[in-house]
Structure 1
Amino acid sequence: MPNRTKGHTRPLAWAGREYLIQTGATVVGGLGNAGAPIATAFALLRMGGGAAAIGYVTGARLAATVLFLLIGGAVADRLPRHRVMVAANVGNALSQAALAALVLTGSAKLWQVVLLASANGIGQAFYAPAAEGMIMESVDQEQAPRAFALFRTALNSSQIGGAALGGALVAAVGPGWVLALDATTLAAAGTLRVFLRAPTPTGQQAEREAGSGMLADLREGWREFTSRRWLWAVVVQYGVVNACLIAAESVLGPIVADQRLGGPRPWGLVNAAMGAGLVAGGLLMVRWQPRRLLLAGTAGVLLFALPAATLAAGAPLTVLGGAMFASGIGGTVYGVCWMIALQQEIPAASFSRVAAYDWCGSVALAPVGTMAAAPLAGGLGLNGALWACAGGMTLLSLLVLAVPEVRQLARVTAAPPPSGLRSETPAPTAVRSEAAA
C-alpha cells in the first residue's frame, strides 16, 4: 500500500529501493554510453578509416555479444543479478578506459579497437539479461506499466544529454575524452549497483541451483522461448530490423554526417533529438495503455525507418532531427509494450534465460548488417544503401503482423495463471488498462 503522510501520498511510493537504485545507475551509465558510439566512429574516421572500419568495430562488439548472451542469461538466472551487473560494468569500464588511453595518445590501431570492442560486447552479454531480470523483479505487475515507462524515460533523458554532450566534446576536445567519460560513468554505475540487494530465490531457482547444470538451464530457457509463437516471431523480425537500423545509424549515418552535415556536432544533435523522442515516448506510455501490446509495439517499430529514409533523401538537418525524434517515440512505445508482454507471459525463474534468447535473436544479424553496410554502399551508393535499410525495416515490420498471436496478444489486469498454464492464447477481450539497455 502507498505510504501516506498527513493525507498526502509519497511521490513514487510504489517504487522500491531496488527499482530506484537500478534506475539511477542506468541513468548514470547512459550519459557516457550515448556519446561513446559517436566518439568511436569519429576516432576511426580520424585514424583514416571509413565505413568498413566502423563496420568491423561495431560488428566485433555485436558478434561478441551474440556469442556470450546465452551464457550470460544462464549465469544471471543462477547468480545474484546485481553482482553480474557490477562485474559487467567494471569490465566495460576497463575496456573503455583502455580504448580512451589509446585514442588520447594517438597510438590506437584498428585491431586494438576491434579487440576492445569485443571485450565491451562480452560485458554487454552478461549485463543485459541480468538487468532486464532485475527490473522485472523490482516492481509488481500492477505497477509495471508506470514503472517501465518511467524507467525508459529516465534512461532516455540521459541519452539526450549524453548524445549532445558527446557530439560537442568530440568536436571540441576529441573522441578520446568522450571515451574516458564513458569509462567513468560505467564505473560509477557499477558502484551504485553494489548497493542493490538480491531478491529471495524462487522455488524453481533454488531447485536449479541445487541440481541442474547450465546446459539443462539453457534447454529449459529454449523451451520457454520456442513455445510462444508471438515471442520468436517478433524476435526474428526485430533481428532483421535491428541489422538494418544499426547499419544505417551506426555505420552509414556518421559517414553522411561527416560528408554532408558538418561533422560530429550536428550528428550529436540529431541523436539528441532521437533521445528527446525516446523521452516523449516514455511520457506518452505513462498514460497510454494500449490493449494490443504487440500491435502497438510494431507500430512503433515502423517509425524506425524514418531516419534512414531521411538521410537517403538528403533532407536538411531539421527534417532529419524530426525523423530521429519520431523514431525515438517509436522505440519507447515498442520497448515498454515488449517489456510488459514479457513480464506477464514469462515465468520469473527463467526470465533472464528467455531474455538472453530474445537479445541473441535481436542482435544476431547486427554484425552482418554492419559489415555489409560498406559493400552495400559501394554497390548501391550511400543513398541506395540507406534506402535499402529503410525498406527492409518497413517490410519486416509489416510481415510480422501476419502472425495472429502478434496482432492479438493483449494486456491482462487480473493475476496471470501459473506459468505452467500459460499459452499463446490471447487474453480475453473483456480486459482492461495499461503501460526498460
Structure 2
Amino acid sequence: MQGYLHDLGLLRDRRFTLLLTARTISVLGSAFAPVALAFGILALPGADATTLSVVLTAEALPMVVFMLVGGVVADRFPRYRVMTVSEFMSALAFFALAAMMLSGWTPLPAMATAAACSGVAMAMMFPALTGIIPEVVPADRLQAGNALLGLGANSSRVAGAVLGGGTVVLFGGGWALAVSGLMFTVAGVLIAALRLTPGARDAAAGHSVLADLRDGWHEFRSRQWIWVVVAQFSVLVMALQAGHGVLGPLLAKESLGGPAAWSAFLAGEAVGTIVGVIVSLRVRPGRPILVGTLLCLPTALPYVLLGTGAPLWAIVAGAFMLGVCFDVFGVLWQTTMQREIPPESLSRVSSYDALGSMMFGPIGLMLAGPVANLVGTRAALLGCAALVVLSTLAALLAPGVRDLRAPDPVAESVPG
C-alpha cells in the first residue's frame, strides 16, 4: 500500500497534474470517435463497409506518412507547444466532421479530408507525448507516471465508450463528434498552460531534417528489441485496425445488436485497461520486453470469440482481457524506451516506433471491407486472430526481446 501511495504522490506536482488532466480529456474526446464515426458513416444513405474503410484509411494514412516529421518537430521544438497545436488541429477536424453529419452534407472527399487532418494531428501528438513525460516526471517515477497517465486515459476510454455509444443512439453521430471537438479544445488549452522551459536538446534544431532522421534511425536500429517488436506490431496493428475499425462494428450491426453491442465491447476493453494500469503500477519484471511480448498472445481472444459466434458476454470478457494485456505491455514498453533512449532522440525514436507499428494499419482498413464481402465477416475476424498470434510468436524468437533486462530497481523501490 505504501508503494501505491508513493506513486500517487505525483499528483501533487502541478505540471504532472496538468498533463494528466489534458491527456485524460483528450482521450475522452477521442473515445467518442470510433462509435460516432463507424455508425454515423454506416447510417448515411448508400454507405457500406467500404465507405467506412475509405474514411478511416484517410485518417490512418497521413498519421503514418507524417509520423517521422512529428518526431523531428517534437525533438526540435518545445514539446508542449507541439502537443497544443495537435490538440487544436484535432478539434477543427472533428468539428468539421460533426458539421457535415449534422447538416446532411456528407460528400466522401470532404469527410476523408477532415479525417486526414485528424491523422496529421495524431502524427504530431504521439512522438511529443512520449518525449514530454520524462520532462515532467522524475526518472525514478517514470513507470508510475506512465501508469497514472494510462489510468486517466483508460478511464476516459471507459466513459467515452459508454457515453459515445449513448450519444450516438440518442442524438446521432454528428453530436458525438462535436463533443469530441470540444474536448480536444479544452485539452489544448491545458497543455498550453504547461509552459515547460526548453532544454539543451533544442540546440540540435540547426541540423537538417535528414540529419535528424538519420540520427534517430541509428538509435532505433541499434537496439534489436525495438525493431523486432515494432515489426511484430506492424502486423498486429494491421489486424487490430481491421478488426476494431471495420469488422467488429460490421459484425455488431449484422448480428449483435448494433452500436450498443459494440459500445459494450469497447467498454469491456477499456475496463480491462484500467485493471491493467493497477497491475502495471507495481509490477517490475526483470525482463520487461519479454513479459510485454508474451502478453500480446491473449489479445487474439476477442477476435476468436467474435469469429466463432460466441455470446456477447464472452466477447466482452475477451475484450476485457485484451485491455489488461495491452495496457501492461504499453506501460512496460514506454518506460523501457524512456529509460534506454537518450532524451534528445526520444521523440524521433518514438516516431520510428509509431511509424513502423502503424505502417500496415491502413492496409488492414482498406482490405477489411472487401475481405468481409469476399469470405464473410466472421472468417475475416478469425484471420485477424491468426495474424496476432503468428506475429507475436515470431517476435519471441529474437534474443534482444527475450534478454533485455530492466535496471537495478533500488532507486525506485519503496516498502510495499
**TM tier, shorter chain?**
over 0.9
Deviation at 1:300, TM superposition (A): 2.0
Partner of 2:203: 207
Partner of 1:358: 353
- Higher mean C-alpha displacement, 8-17 vs 224-233: 8-17
Following superposition of structure 1 onto structure 2, how do residues 12-411 of structure 1 map, counting pairs within 5 Å? Answer: 12-13=9-10, 16-47=13-44, 48-202=46-200, 205-209=201-205, 211-411=206-406
Deviation at 1:414, TM superposition (A): 6.4
Q: Distance in 1 between matches of 2:409 and 2:36?
A: 47
* Matched letter for residue 403 of structure 1: A
- SS of the equivalent of 2:396 reads helix
Deviation at 1:140, TM superposition (A): 2.3
Cα-to-partner distance string for 1:98-146 (whole Å, 9 max, x where unaligned): 1101101111122211111111000111111111111132112211121
Partner of 1:420: none
* Matched letter for residue 241 of structure 2: I
Q: Distance in 2 between matches of 1:53 and 1:341?
A: 39
Q: Distance in 2 between matches of 1:398 and 1:161?
A: 34
* Matched letter for residue 208 of structure 1: A
* Matched letter for residue 400 of structure 2: E
* Matched letter for residue 164 of structure 1: V
Q: Distance in 1 between matches of 2:357 and 2:28?
A: 24
- For residues 14 and 248 of structure 1, do their structure 2 counterparts lie closer, same or farther at Cα, with a shift above 3 Å needed? closer
Answer yes or no: is the 8 Å Cα contact 1:15–1:147 preserved in 2. no
* Matched letter for residue 21 of structure 1: L
- For residues 253 and 221 of structure 1, do their structure 2 counterparts lie closer, same or farther at Cα, with a shift above 3 Å needed? same
- SS of the equivalent of 2:112 reads helix
Cα-to-partner distance string for 1:390-434 (whole Å, 9 max, x where unaligned): 00001101110000110111111369xxxxxxxxxxxxxxx9969
* Matched letter for residue 154 of structure 1: G
- For residues 208 and 432 of structure 1, do their structure 2 counterparts lie closer, same or farther at Cα, with a shift above 3 Å needed? closer
* Matched letter for residue 186 of structure 2: A
Answer yes or no: is the 8 Å Cα contact 1:292–1:408 preserved in 2. yes
Cα-to-partner distance string for 1:41-95 (whole Å, 9 max, x where unaligned): 1111111322211111111111101111111110111111111111111111011
Deviation at 1:148, TM superposition (A): 1.2
- For residues 364 and 11 of structure 1, do their structure 2 counterparts lie closer, same or farther at Cα, with a shift above 3 Å needed? closer
- For residues 13 and 222 of structure 1, do their structure 2 counterparts lie closer, same or farther at Cα, with a shift above 3 Å needed? closer
- Consecutive aligned runs of 4 or more in structure 1 exceeding 6 Å deviation: 431-434
Q: Distance in 2 between matches of 1:413 and 1:10?
A: 18
Give the structure with the larger helix fraction: 2
Cα-to-partner distance string for 1:160-208 (whole Å, 9 max, x where unaligned): 0001110111111110010000000000000111111224412xx2431
* Matched letter for residue 151 of structure 1: L
Q: Distance in 2 between matches of 1:156 and 1:206?
A: 32
Partner of 1:422: none
Identity across the alignment (%): 37
Q: Distance in 2 between matches of 1:432 and 1:19?
A: 18
RMSD: 1.8
* Matched letter for residue 363 of structure 2: V
TM-score by length of 2: 0.95
Partner of 1:4: none
* Matched letter for residue 193 of structure 1: I
TM-score by length of 1: 0.90
Question: Aligned residues, how many?
Answer: 409
Q: Distance in 1 between matches of 2:413 and 2:370?
A: 47
- SS of the equivalent of 1:143 reads helix
Q: Distance in 1 between matches of 2:8 and 2:330?
A: 24
Deviation at 1:343, TM superposition (A): 1.1
- What residue ranges of structure 1 are gaps of 5+ in the alignment? 1-7, 416-430
Q: Distance in 2 between matches of 1:43 and 1:154?
A: 27
